[in-house]
Amino acid sequence: MSTRTSFSPCRIAGALYGGGMRRGLALLLLLAACAGPTEPDARPSPEGALLPEDRLELPAYDLAQYRAMIQELEGTPVVVNIWGSWCPPCRVEAPDLADVSAAYEGRVQFVGIDILDERQAARDFILEFDWQYPHIFDPTGAIRDGLGYIGQPVTIVHDAQGAVTFEWTGAVAEAQLTEEIEKVL
């Protein structure tokens, strides 16, 4: 019968406690590992629901927060659009998104993800096209990348159970988006 010993950084740090400069440095490094990962821009999730109430708020979200928000929206079909104010195809599809989101208001939740952008430029874009739905901010494109997409814009339709039923990279046409939404209603 053999016993298995687990070696965690905290256990090693305890064994190194006391004795010499090298051990002290090793102890410091291992204790830092015990504290767990940190992010320079880490912040707690917004209180309550994750869907922003103000379309111009643009809270910074990471992939985990985005996924939690989509999960909170289960029970309602959701259209997600990944865009940037600097993106020419995003500008092409913007009027169609405004029209379709207005036509389905109250029945389908639209959510924008502004990527690789500046917040003020994004707010100006939202106002220019009169988008009435909420947006989140992803300054590095980590959500898009984490979802496995390349380029922008990207449009994703989720059914009421949260399953992805449609994905489109490039400017989505009003008729095409309408057809895909009708399939999940």
Q: What is the pLDDT of residues 117-167, one digit of tens each?
A: 999 999 999 999 999 999 999 999 999 999 999 999 999 999 999 999 999
pTM of the shown model: 0.74
- Please report, in angstroms and rounded to a whole number, the separation of the first and last CA atoms in the chain: 60
Same structural domain, 70 and 128: yes
Domain that holds residue 12: 7-37
Measured CA distances, 49 to 52, 60, 67, 155 (Å) = 8, 15, 13, 23
Dig out the tokens for 176 from the structure: 């095409």
Judge whether residue 47 has pLDDT over 60: no
Same structural domain, 69 and 141: yes
Contact by Cβ (8 Å): 50, 131: no
Measured CA distances, 145 to 100, 138, 160 (Å) = 26, 11, 24
Judge whether residue 40 has pLDDT over 60: no
Query: For the chain, what percent of residues have pLDDT higher than 70?
Result: 74
33 occurs within a structural domain: yes
- Supply the Cα-derived Rg of the chain in whole angstroms: 22
pLDDT digits (tens, 9 = 90+) for 77-117: 999 999 999 999 999 999 999 999 999 999 999 999 999 99
What confidence score (pLDDT) does residue 129 get? 98
Same structural domain, 70 and 18: no
